[in-house]
């Protein structure tokens, strides 16, 4: 397969991104490995990469070895200790690759994708649900249970896995093994196992009851949908996902201060 050429501006942006990911000595070895000419006399890594890319495209009229260089730099094993940074780099590189109809994924391989026609298209590709949730200060437990789905903007499964994680946390805190509404009714009944406040005044008991009903609502809407209806019938938009995950985050925050007052 012949990979199409990038524009000079796209090559420059790729070079700047990739130049941040390698040392000077690593760069020399990697350029040699994919048979790209290293202009080692140039002062900066990104300029060496850019020049090598330009020479290759001018000679071959394609970007095949440029793609191979990208895969070499973004080899997943090199980022085992820094997966968050890795996903950020993947998103930014994919935003540029998308202008020629490609993207690089978590396995370090390059795939065809819908071609970006505008800067907005490319920016949207680089913007993940995870970044938006981080910006909102969402609870860390959300990322614990659905990180792969968040990183790929998989709205339905982000919500689905986050809800599973919420109910698993309630099981962990309460010591119960039940699920769904039965779990919520046992844990937050009028003789509760867990409480989210002092549970003494009427207003505190009303708040407790409201929290219980909120959990039941989340459970009823999203907890077991996949067993009954196909994924495509649940049209969850990005905005839907952000708002639902906001509720899940709120529930986790209330659970942070939960007290177990009855043993099971």
| pLDDT greater at residue 263 or residue 32 | 32
Kindly indicate the confidence band of residue 231, based on its pLDDT and cuts at 50, 70 and 90: very low
Q: Which residues contact 139 (CB under 8 A, 6 or more apart)?
A: 248, 249, 252, 253, 256
d(CA 34, CA 4): 17
Whole-number percent of the chain with pLDDT over 70: 93
Centroid of chain to Cα 253:
21
Q: Which residues contact 86 (CB under 8 A, 6 or more apart)?
A: 74, 76, 79
Report pLDDT for 198. 95
Report pLDDT for 209. 95
- β-pair partners for 104: 110
Q: Phi then psi for 81, rounded to 5 degrees? A: -90, 0
CA distances from residue 260 to 71, 146, 194 in whole angstroms, order as listed: 50, 26, 4
Kindly indicate the confidence band of residue 224, based on its pLDDT and cuts at 50, 70 and 90: low
207, 250 contact by CB (below 8 A): no
Q: Is the pLDDT of residue 222 over 80?
A: no
Highest average pLDDT, of 154-163, 179-188, 225-234, comes from 179-188
Kindly indicate the confidence band of residue 232, based on its pLDDT and cuts at 50, 70 and 90: very low
Highest average pLDDT, of 36-40, 189-193, 210-214, comes from 210-214
Q: What is the pLDDT of residues 56-69, one digit of tens each?
A: 999 999 999 999 99
- β-pair partners for 111: 103
Mean of per-residue pLDDT scores for the chain: 89
DSSP per-residue letters across 48-74: HHHHHHHHHHHHHSS-HHHHHHHHHHT
Q: Which SS3 state, helix, strand or coil, does residue 152 take?
A: coil
Q: Is the pLDDT of residue 230 over 50?
A: no
Report pLDDT for 225. 47
Q: CA nearest 251: which of 208, 220, 222, 221?
A: 208
Pull the structure tokens for residue 101: 């109809």
49, 15 contact by CB (below 8 A): yes
Domain boundaries, the chain: 8-126, 134-260
pTM of the model: 0.56
Average pLDDT over residues 201-209: 95
Report pLDDT for 34. 96
User: Which residue blocks in the chain are alpha helix, DSSP H?
Assistant: 8-19, 24-33, 45-60, 64-73, 83-97, 119-126, 129-135, 140-151, 155-174, 180-187, 202-218, 238-256
Report pLDDT for 126. 67
36, 11 contact by CB (below 8 A): no
Report pLDDT for 152. 72
């Amino acid at each position: 397969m012949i990979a199409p050429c990038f524009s000079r501006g796209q090559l420059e942006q790729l070079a700047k991104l990739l130049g941040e990911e390698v040392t000077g000595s690593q760069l020399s070895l990697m350029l040699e490995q994919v048979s790209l000419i290293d202009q080692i006399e140039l002062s900066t890594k990104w300029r060496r990469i850019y020049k090598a890319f330009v020479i290759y495209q001018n000679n071959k009229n394609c970007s095949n070895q440029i793609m191979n260089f990208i895969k070499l730099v973004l080899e997943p094993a090199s980022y085992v200790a820094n997966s968050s940074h890795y996903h950020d780099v993947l998103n930014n590189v994919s935003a540029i690759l998308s202008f020629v109809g490609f993207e690089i994924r978590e396995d370090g391989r390059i795939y065809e994708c819908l071609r970006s026609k505008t800067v907005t298209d490319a920016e949207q590709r680089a913007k993940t649900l995870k970044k938006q949730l981080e910006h909102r200060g969402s609870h860390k437990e959300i990322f614990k249970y659905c990180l792969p789905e968040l990183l790929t903007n998989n709205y339905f499964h982000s919500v689905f896995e986050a809800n599973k994680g919420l109910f698993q946390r309630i099981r962990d805190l309460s010591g119960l093994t039940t699920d769904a509404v039965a779990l919520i009714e046992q844990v937050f009944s009028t003789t509760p196992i867990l409480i989210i406040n002092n549970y003494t005044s009427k207003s505190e008991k009303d708040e407790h009851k409201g929290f219980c009903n909120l959990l039941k609502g989340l459970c009823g809407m999203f907890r077991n949908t996949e067993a009954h209806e196909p994924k495509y019938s649940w049209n969850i938009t990005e905005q839907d996902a952000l708002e639902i995950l906001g509720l899940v985050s709120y529930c986790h925050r209330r659970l942070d201060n939960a007290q177990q007052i009855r043993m099971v």
